[in-house]
Amino acid sequence: MTFLQCYDILKFASGTAYKTYEDEGYILSKTWTVKEILDWTRDYFKGAGVERSRLEAEQLLAHTLDVDRIQLYMNPDRPLDDKELNNFRPLVKERKSGQPLQYITGQVSFMGLSLKIDNRALIPRPETEEMTEEILGEFRDYEDVKVLDLGTGSGAIAIALARFLVEPNVTAIDNSPEALELAKENARRNDLEKEIEFRHSNWFSEVSENYDVIVSNPPYVPSAKLEELKEEIKDHEPTEALDGGEEGTREIKNILDQVEGYLSEGGAVFLEIGHDQGGEIKNYAAAQNLSEVRLIEDSQGTDRILCGSKGA
């Protein structure tokens, strides 16, 4: 690495112009272009162990400039002004420190919908999108499907089903008032606040009706393995939405113990589960009088979704 390259990195990381001994103390200046900032941030993130370093650099810069990522490549030689650099620099430092990208930008895309996200709820994962797609695949052509989203968190599942099912009746519950408020904000953000009933409830404690679809992404990480999670998860996302008890199956079994009593005849339950819990949970679900119990693999080929029905 040349002296000038070292200087540029130091200057960007600190926001300070460093004196050199060239030309009797002349302070070198640097104009950063979009491409240069992306390249530098990618390498900086790589060195910090950030996965998908290029993608995250693009997402942070696009967020800072309030543009789509594609626009970064339409004008790669565009110089950044001081205000833009000053806005970008602390975001890079936050990400390096372990703060999740989605919490920094305050938004996440789920099933093509834009959601606000912060530490009141878990960040929606691709596996949860896949479970939502499974529900849509089975119920998209039905009208007036009655849906219960248990532990709605950010509201991602409830909002996607309210958007893509035909005139559904969606109820979203959570035991966290803070998460419920975030879910409501996201429903308003997507013009669906009148389409979803939000209710404070500890699983079924405040539920009395029957539903055609009951869906949940419950906590399923064994308590002893919480410390093994990536720092950006264990240090920033809500522990109560992760901790599934000693074996990781406490809340899944809690739901399965009760779910038949809240399913309509022919209704179905969909639960996201841990990657190594499939066999045990499938047997447990069958013992609760659910029929057509099956496991659905995620895109990585891992058993990730449990589905069961009420009735023959």
Q: How far apart are CA 191 and CA 195, in angstroms?
A: 9
Round to whole Å and give the CA distance between 217 and 270: 9
Read off the pTM. 0.88
Q: Classify domain 3-105 by CATH architecture.
A: Orthogonal Bundle (1.10)
Domain span(s) for CATH 1.10.8.10 in the chain: 3-105
Mean pLDDT for 211-224 is: 98
- pLDDT digits over 150-181, tens only? 999 999 999 999 999 999 999 999 999 999 99
The yes or no reply on domain 110-309 and CATH 3.30.70.60 is: no
Kindly report, residue by residue over 60-114, the tens digit of the pLDDT.
Answer: 999 999 999 999 999 999 999 999 999 999 999 999 999 999 999 999 999 999 9
Interaxial angle between packed helices 34-47 and 3-14, expressed in degrees from 0 to 180 and rounded to the nearest 10: 90
Where in the sequence of the chain do the CATH 3.40.50.150 domains occur?
110-309
Report the distance separating Cα 293 and Cα 310, nearest Å: 10
